[in-house]
Chain A
Amino acid sequence: MTSIFGVPTQALFGQLLVGLINGSFYAMLSLGLSVIFGLLNIINFAHGALYMMGAFVAYFCLQWAGLGYWWALLIAPIVVGAVGIVLERTMLKRLYHLDHLYGLLLTFGVALVIQGAFRNQFGSSGFPYASPAQLTGGYNLGFMFLPTYRAWVVVFSLGTCLVTWYVIERTKLGSYLRAATENPALVQAFGINVPRMITLTYGFGVGLAALAGVLAAPIYQVNPLMGADLIIVVFAVVVIGGMGSIMGSIVTGFTLGVVEGLTKVFYPEASNTVIFVIMAIVLLVKPTGLFGREK
């Protein structure tokens, strides 16, 4: 068996793939957080819970309605996005005039309620969710075996991230969004309905989380606590990338996933902490994050 730096290539590429998969989820989740943070100035602590909800919607679709994975990819973001919109309209909206910390505290409470409710109902053991028939099997690349579904996750999430980036940075709608991020009062004065835009942005951001949840369902299990610890890693990713930076969250999401995977190969003890260590270093060197700027 061939090896690089004393590590069998099989293990190396295996962990690289795991890293890329994790990176896909980091990127999609931190992208959603960034979009929300940019416009609402709220760190959405409920993001992990809504990601979990997305996976559960996929599970319900299959169990109750017989609708498979492809339907779930469409339905879950819509359902969870709607939940997000209700959340924003009924609760978050009341906090915009206060210190932004209250938004964090509120969404933290919401996350506790959602996670607690799901754990109450479904226990904490989790349910398996089969990957769709079209994406089973895999390719033998010679140096490693690539399961089709995992390749699909990486490609799909990269695609979603790039489309989101394009819409925000290159279209008219995105320009409104960016303008409202800079100066909401002025944009409103130009006749754009900023409150509605804020609501839809929140819905879109949590929709992305739900989409990530559906993607994750066949890889991990559908588990009420699947988002609880993940969200904290994603927070660190967002800090490293620079809060509110769209490209920053995509690039750092994937990069850190890979870095984490490589750490698992070369120094497994540090694989859980490496992202936080990187965060500490980045903060020392550039407190606004790699792609962030002073706001």
Chain B
Amino acid sequence: MAATKEYAAAPPAAAVPAIPRHQVMAFAVMIAFFAAAPFFVYPLFMMKALCFALFACAFNLLLGYVGLLSFGHAAFLGSAGYVSAHAAKVWGAPPEAAILVGTAAAAGLGAVVGYLSIRSKGIYFANITLAFAQMIYFFCVQTPFTHGEDGIQAVPRGMMFGLLDLRGTLTIYYVVLAVFLVGFLLVYRAIHSPFGQVLKAIRENEPRAVSLGYTADHYKLIAFVISATLAGLAGGTKSLVFQLASLTDVHWTMSGEVVLMTLLGGMGTVFGPVVGALIMVTLEHYLAQLGSWVTIIQGAIFVVCVLTFRRGVVGELARLLKKPL
């Protein structure tokens, strides 16, 4: 049983130095889509999608390229959100500083949680990250600065770099888009660098990677910290967009949601998490009035994806085009 482990979404190896043309085109399509979107769709909704897309990309770096399923990524999203919101509201920090402080907090947290959990593999790893996230959740419930059930409300958006007034909807939209692109390109770069190749080697066969002289644990820890940091970047940005940091973002259901986004979009693909996040946020938006049906539908999508659709939307598309996306 154990001999034939495989990852359904394993992408074909892309060790090409130049960026392939179809990926450039896909990237251009994505930028055009997001740049035009606020003129056709409710911008706040699109910003939510962008934040989750970044969150899912960060998560995918870990699941898709290192093969580590973290079931506690909400902890990084949520705690960065709290720290950013606190910095902006209580300390009066400008938005760029607030986001950076939140991101740094997530990075620090990621280093600690990563250090403790990276030594275990597979299910154990999932379990342990989940438990740590739950611990952080309870911490957020109890500590006074998060304001418990109320969350941190009415977070000021402020002036970015003293120039951009983020109270303008379009201004903040393009700032969020820029933040997302920075995160997205960082993940892209990480995946397609020699570092990324080592990560994939570890995913495919860890003992062999170790025997070739790579200290797998170091690579995994670095990937974990990058992933946590970017999740924090998404969380910090999100708290400014919605002017709210709440317990929802730290709860384990959020960790489950990001797994679902990545799985649905296609884990181990560059564009998959973005597509998955878009689909999930849209679904939630239109199903919101159905109340708890959302949970049922999410669960059903999970089951269907795992049973029959393990490559995800982009993974299937890449297979049809015979090109990695």
Contacts and interface: CB of A to CB of B under 8 A. Distances in A.
Given A239-B128, A280-B116, 10 more contacts: A95-B306, A99-B6, A101-B123, A101-B126, A106-B302, A112-B256, A116-B298, A117-B296, A232-B252, A235-B130
B34 interface: no
Given A94-B307, A100-B123, A232-B134, A120 B6 contact: no
B132 A280 contact: yes
B122 A102 contact: no
Nearest to A184: B1
Contacts of A276: 131-132, 134-135, 138
B131 A239 contact: yes
A119 interface: yes
A280 B67 CA distance: 22
Contacts, number: 138
Interface in B5-55: 5-8
A9 B298 CA distance: 48
23 contacts: A37-B123, A43-B127, A97-B1, A97-B6, A98-B6, A99-B7, A104-B71, A104-B126, A105-B263, A105-B302, A113-B303, A120-B293, A185-B1, A238-B127, A239-B124, A243-B124, A272-B142, A273-B139, A276-B138, A279-B128, A280-B135, A283-B119, A284-B116
Interface residues of B, number: 48
Given A110-B299, A273-B135, A97 B4 contact: yes
A116 B253 CA distance: 12
B116 A116 contact: no
B4 A287 contact: no
Nearest to A123: B292
A219 to B, nearest CB: 22
Residue of B4, B67, B296 most packed against chain A (CB within 10 A)? B296
A-B residue pairs, 7 tightest by C-beta? A109-B302, A112-B299, A116-B295, A276-B135, A113-B299, A116-B296, A272-B138
A276 B302 CA distance: 27
A41 interface: yes
Chain A residues touching B, range: 35 or more
A83 B295 CA distance: 20
Contacts of A106: 302-303, 306-307
Contact of A100 (B122, B130, B138, B301): B122
Given A108-B302, A276-B132, A235 B295 contact: no
Nearest to A224: B292
A43 B126 contact: yes
Contacts of B134: 229, 232-233, 236, 276
A112 B263 contact: no
Contacts of B300: 109, 113
B310 interface: yes
B127 A235 contact: yes
